[in-house]
Amino acid sequence: MKRTSIACAVLLLCVASAEAQVRVSVKIEAPLMNAKYRPRTADAEMAIATALAGELPNYFSQWSYVPVPAVDGRVPDFTLAFRIYEHLGAHKFEVSLQAPAQQIKVWDKDWMRPGDHLLKGFPDRRVAGPVVSLQIARLLLNANQDEMFVEMKKVPLARTAKWLPVFGLREEPRLVLPLRWPGSRVLVNAMVRVECGDAKKLRSQALDSPAFYDESGSTRYEALVVKPLKQVVGDVETDVKTIRRQVMKMTPVAIYLEMMDPLGLQTPVSPR
């Protein structure tokens, strides 16, 4: 890959780090496909990863995505690692959801049967991104969307949140997450789990009223707000209204999706 391509990928990751939670990488391990793109196989991989990062919100819109070069060994953060490989003459797609300490789940699907590549060929490198990503979406993501969604809930929506100012004794605590509005509106009414230190958790619900999130520096934007309902410590649940002051001293370290809108009002519909 050219240095400029790598630099762009790193820049994308840095710019999107406040919101992006899922890295998207592609590795081409099929010898014949590799030979077609050599010596610019890495460029083709990055093009496919970039196209997939744009396609994935159509399937799992609750998270954000950033394309990155594939890495060998342990990934530095949650990653959807796509692989194109050959097995017994057939060409296959694979995606694994990986965390820094483990591989969470793997899904695969046939792309071309033995010999099909001789008839169909591989797409030109200049159009490999949109063409191959569309095939991956149609064959792999469509077939496994429901199961993948369950596993994706192990990926945090955010790793921090900020308490909004509370005025008056009756106003309830609220947290603003670094998830830009209106894109994060898909989470309205969803139940989320806010994990804090000392094994304490806050069962919370996303609201339909955004607030401004101030990042370090001068970045400020409208973002998703959640309302803590219960503090959970082990098997003990406590109504947040009764321990408001203590709750607002807690420091959020990770926020996870538990359930989309329990009433089904905001549950996203698959575009496929």
Per-residue pLDDT of 65-115, as tens digits, reads: 999 999 988 999 999 999 999 999 999 999 999 998 888 899 999 999 998
pLDDT band at 18 (very low <50, low <70, confident <90, very high): very low
Give the mean model confidence (pLDDT) for residues 156-160: 94
pLDDT band at 237 (very low <50, low <70, confident <90, very high): very high
Average pLDDT of every residue of the chain: 88
pLDDT at position 31 = 95
- pTM, full prediction: 0.85
Hey, what CATH topology would domain 3-152 get? Rossmann fold (3.40.50)
Taking CA atoms, 256 is separated from 90, 155, 237, in Å, by: 38, 7, 18
Helix, strand or coil for residue 125? helix
Location of each CATH 3.40.50 domain in the chain: 3-152
Handedness of CA 35, 41, 44, 46 (dihedral sign): positive
**Which single residue is written with the structure tokens 């797609």?**
93
Residues in the chain: 272
Q: How many CA atoms lie within 13 A of 231 on its CB side?
A: 22
Helix, strand, coil in percent for the chain, rounding step 5: 30, 35, 35
Phi/psi region, residue 121 (left: phi>0; alpha: psi -120 to 50; beta: rest), is: left
